[in-house]
Amino acid sequence: MLVSNARNYNCALYCRLSSEDELQDESRSITNQKELLERYAKENNLNIYDVYVDDGYSGTNFERPDFQRMIRDIENKKVNMVIVKDSSRLGRDYIQFGEYIEKYFPQNNVRVISILDNYDSELDNGVADTLPFRAVMNDYYAKDTSKKVRSTKQKNAKQGLFMGRYAPFGYDKSAEDKHKLVINEEQAKVVRKIFKLYLEDNSPLQISYILINEKIPTPSQIMNMQKQTTKWYPEVIRRILQNEMYIGNMVQCRQRKINYKLKKVVGLPKSEWIIVENTHEPIIEKETFYAVQQIMKSKEKTRAKSVKLLLKGLAVCKECGKKMSTTVDCHGNHNRYLRCTSYATAPRQRICTPHIMNYQNLENAIIKELQELCKQYLDKNELKQIVDKENQEIDNENKVKKEKSVTQKAIDVLSNQIDKLYEDKLKGLLNELDFKRLYDKKLAERELKQKYLKELESVTFEKKTIDYEKIMSDFLKKENITSYMLTSLIDKIEIDNDKNVTVYYKFSPLSNVLS
């Protein structure tokens, strides 16, 4: 098929390949398409304006980058001929395909050639009449391929094979097998920290604030996604806390596309998820995970009625030292009150007195007092004089001490087990082969533990200073004051029997009495 009036044309050579096409037939490769199109242009003495390539894009979507670039060049009168290997390269959605072939290209005086279809929009050879049917078949092919891909993914998911593009935060895809997950220890530390903070009664909002302050990279930053955020949002924290992947269960197929032509996905009910247990090493112990789920579930039930208590855990009874609990006056205007926990637990035993105080009035007074203090110290530039001179030791030191103790005990146990194997061998309870197998296994375990203990012993701890200046600045600027801000600035709030309130601040030795 020779092209007439070849000198009058500036050609766009368009190539497209989706991942599904590549799996179906190697001959569809981008290299193969380009070679065919360039050879055809050369044989017909056609001027090639540019080559447009969309590699990895579905034919059901016409918002492909290079396809749209070609359209812009057509509208700018730079291109007046489009050449493709076959009609399916332009697209597989027969409605949009027809719009371009029947309307757009003719209106813009663009000649279209599909080499393998023997189609030339300038020739009346009968092929144009069959092109709509081919478009329908291409659309059907896309639909059929989509079904096959979905079926394959579900089959692999049921076998516990990881099918995602990105590994969940805390894991990497195994270098040996991309369908297996291995722990990324740096990320796993953050996951463990999130669970620990939540069990310490920090809300997802408070946890996100802590992670942002510590400048911990977000999952989208670590995965280098196109849409990145430097902020840890509470919803991200909730998803991590509810994700069974962290206890070693493979959870997949939680959403699906509306259909093969649209990118939009819809969430599926949990009953339709594919969950395979114990497919990879857990980051979080099951007991910890299910404890978190129970807490989250109980909070969901009372979320509509719950009130955000910024002073939660800070107020204590001066007489007995117990933390103050809250109660609601159901007979009047539903005000919330603080009262001594000792009294509330056993009022008849008179362990302590009620110490009842209006919670909201106290919260308002504390915040107002604290804001005045912040303004005073920040305005006078005396902040550095009231910041603690002594650095605070990181909590991890105690954790590592505990870990060292546990590891040493494990080493001792393994040493005893090795001694026992020798005894069993001498008594004839173990043959040489079984002894060697068990001995090598226990020895390897002990060596790993000893290596780990050595690493723990080499750990040193830095001391950090609480950045009170930043916290105070945020406290003054923020409309929504968080519990974390208050707990960062206040050590405790003492309430005595006469309803006198003493606030002990962390940032200086001063205290203030409210009455």
CATH number of 64's domain = 3.40.50.1390
* CATH (domain of 228): 3.90.1750.20
In a domain, 294, yes or no: yes
Shared domain check, 293 and 214: yes
Q: What are 31's two structure tokens?
A: 């290299």
Do 184 and 289 belong together in one domain? yes
289 and 434 part of one domain: no
Higher pLDDT, 396 or 458: 458
The 3-state DSSP class for residue 72 equals helix
The residue that leads in pLDDT, 201 or 369, is 369
Three-class DSSP category at 297: helix
Number of domains in the chain: 4
| Structural domain that includes position 490 | 315-392+465-514
Do residues 473 and 348 both lie within one domain?
yes
**165 occurs within a structural domain:** no
Domain C-terminal end among 149, 182, 202? 149
Q: Which contacts qualify for 226-229: CB closer than 8 Å, 24 or more apart?
A: none
Q: Is the pLDDT confidence value at 394 over 60?
A: no
The whole-model pTM stands at 0.39
pLDDT of 489 reads 78
Asked whether residue 379 is assigned to any structural domain, the reply reads yes
The three-state secondary structure class of 134 is helix
CA–CA dist 57, 92 (Å, integer): 11
Together in a domain, 337 and 454: no
- Beta pairing partners, 276: 250
Same domain? 11 vs 112? yes
Q: Is residue 364 part of a domain?
A: yes
Q: How far is CA 21 from CA 89, 141, 153, in A?
A: 10, 10, 16
pLDDT at 340: 87
Burial 302-325 (b: 16+ CB within 10 A, else e): eeeeeeebbbbebbbbbbeebebb
The phi and psi torsions of 405 (rounded to 5 degrees) equal -65, -45
In DSSP terms, 326 is beta-bridged to 338
Q: Are 365 and 260 members of one domain? A: no
Name the pLDDT band for 437 (thresholds 50, 70, 90): confident
Select from 459, 480, 504 the last residue of a domain. 459
Per-position b or e across 15-30, b if 16+ CB within 10 A of its CB: bbbbebbeeeeeebeb
- Do 177 and 223 fall within a single domain? yes
Average pLDDT of the residues in 58-76: 89
Stronger pLDDT, 131 or 346, i.e. the higher one: 346
155 falls within a domain:
no
Average pLDDT over the chain, rounded to whole?
Answer: 77
How many Å apart are CA 85 and CA 469, to the nearest integer? 65
With H, G, I as helix, E, B as strand and everything else as coil, classify residue 431: coil
Q: What are phi and psi of 460, to 5 degrees?
A: -115, 155
Q: Residue 510 pLDDT more than 70?
A: no
HEC letters along 246-283: HHCCEEECCEEECCCCCCCEEECCHHHCEEECCCCCCC
For the segment 53-65, the average pLDDT, to the nearest whole number, is 83
Instruction: Clarify whether residues 255 and 143 are in a common domain.
Output: no
Summarize pLDDT for 346-367 with one digit per residue, the tens. 776 777 888 888 888 898 888 8
Look at 153 and 38; give whichever has higher pLDDT: 38
Residue 385 pLDDT: 46
Q: Which band of pLDDT confidence, cut at 50, 70 and 90, is reported for residue 391?
A: very low
Looking at the fold, whether 386 and 400 belong to one and the same domain comes out as no
Indicate whether 163 belongs to any domain.
no
The CA–CA distances, whole Å, from 275 to 59, 167, 224 equal: 32, 16, 27
Q: For 24-44, write each residue's pLDDT tens digit.
A: 444 468 888 999 999 999 999
Q: Tell me, yes or no, whether 10 and 128 share the same domain.
A: yes
Q: Cα separation of 284 and 192, whole Å?
A: 7
Q: How far apart are CA 141 and CA 446, in angstroms?
A: 58
Shared-domain flag, residues 424 and 286: no
Residue 141 pLDDT: 52
Q: Which of 245, 279, 301 is the last residue of a domain?
A: 301
Is the pLDDT at 273 greater than 60? The verdict is yes
Give a yes or no: residue 229 inside a domain: yes
- Give domain status of residue 414, yes or no: yes
How far is the C-alpha of 322 from the C-alpha of 313, rounded, in Å? 10
